[in-house]
Amino acid sequence: MSRGARFVLFGVSAAGLAALLGWAFAGLPDFGAYAGRYGRIVAQLAEPDRATTNAVTFTAFDVRAIDTLVEEFIVFASAIAAVALLRHQRDEPEHAEDTDTLLRPRTSPALRLVGAALAGPTVVIALDLIAHGHLTPGGGFQGGIVLAATAVVVVAAGGRVRLPPDKPPLLGEMMHGAGAAGFVLLGLGGLIFSGAFLSTTFAGHGTTGALLSGGAIPLLNVATGFEVAGAVIVILGEFLEQEMLAMEES
């Protein structure tokens, strides 16, 4: 199909879609006039039932914990799929240099300085986000991404990361495997100790607002944080290696 014909077809379909969207949105409640029941109930239960003050984390890791488990597996599977896709054609160039030798001539001293200065604080922020996920905005997913960003910052700062072609970036793979397994084990803990898979009450309530409160929810956050950070490190490592192989060839 030619480009012009494609645009015409798209224009007609998009106009139809826009009309349908307008029709559908006209039937939604007005902005700000939310009347749903579930959100209200969940927000009321978060504090008295589980001693969590972040209702979003309470929803994600308690009410919808099984969905979050599946979500974890989506992250897990996509990391493996990215590895399988990118490693498929890794055959010919035998040696990948370490990042420092390849990247140093291409990064500015300012970037390396800022990277080195940010590495420590980034880890602290990530751990803080994960540890306080049940109390304040944050949680395993958000903190995990920030933790993975540390790896990026370290590489940008000229940290030596050697990526031998036949060996996976072991730290990332261990982290994301351990995170996924940890989530399932915590779920089984709920099954054994309080009779329902992923029930979070077996770890006790604690005082509202304390770091150790909210039952197993902080532990699930830690597992998720490791899983997400590991998966992102694995994916970014694969992309980085592709880039390095391309640099070597050129």
Name the residue among 197, 199, 227 with its Cα closest to residue 214. Answer: 199
Residues 87, 150: Cα–Cα separation, whole Å: 24
Which of 43, 66, 117, 124 is the binder for another protein (CB under 8 A)? 43
CA of residue 150 relative to chain centroid, distance: 14
For residue 162, give the nearest of 239, 101, 72 by alpha carbon. 101
User: If we measure between CA atoms, which residue out of 201, 223, 184 comes closest to residue 45?
Assistant: 201
CB 174, min distance to another protein, A: 19
Rounded to the nearest whole angstrom, what is the least distance from the CB of residue 241 to another protein in the complex? 11
CA distance 43 to 39: 6
Provide the minimum distance between the beta carbon of 34 and another protein in the complex, in angstroms, as a whole number.
4
Shortest reach from residue 222's CB to another protein, in Å: 17
- Could you say whether residue 32 binds another protein (CB under 8 A)? yes
Query: Would you give the binding string for another protein spanning residues 137-156, x where CB under 8 A is met?
Result: x-x-x---x-----------
Touching another protein, residues 83-102 (CB under 8 A):
85-86, 88-89
Instruction: Give the Å distances, CA to CA, from 92 to 14, 73, 87, 169, 181.
Output: 46, 32, 11, 19, 35
Cα–Cα distance for residue pair 99/103, rounded to 1 Å: 6
Range in contact with another protein (rule: CB under 8 A) among 73-81, 91-99, 102-110, 194-202: 73-81
The residues that touch another protein, with contacts defined as CB under 8 A, are 3, 6-7, 10, 14, 17-18, 21-22, 25, 28-34, 36, 38-40, 42-43, 46-47, 53-56, 58-60, 63-64, 67-68, 71, 74-75, 78-79, 81-82, 85-86, 88-89, 135-137, 139, 141, 145, 209, 228, 235, 238-239, 242
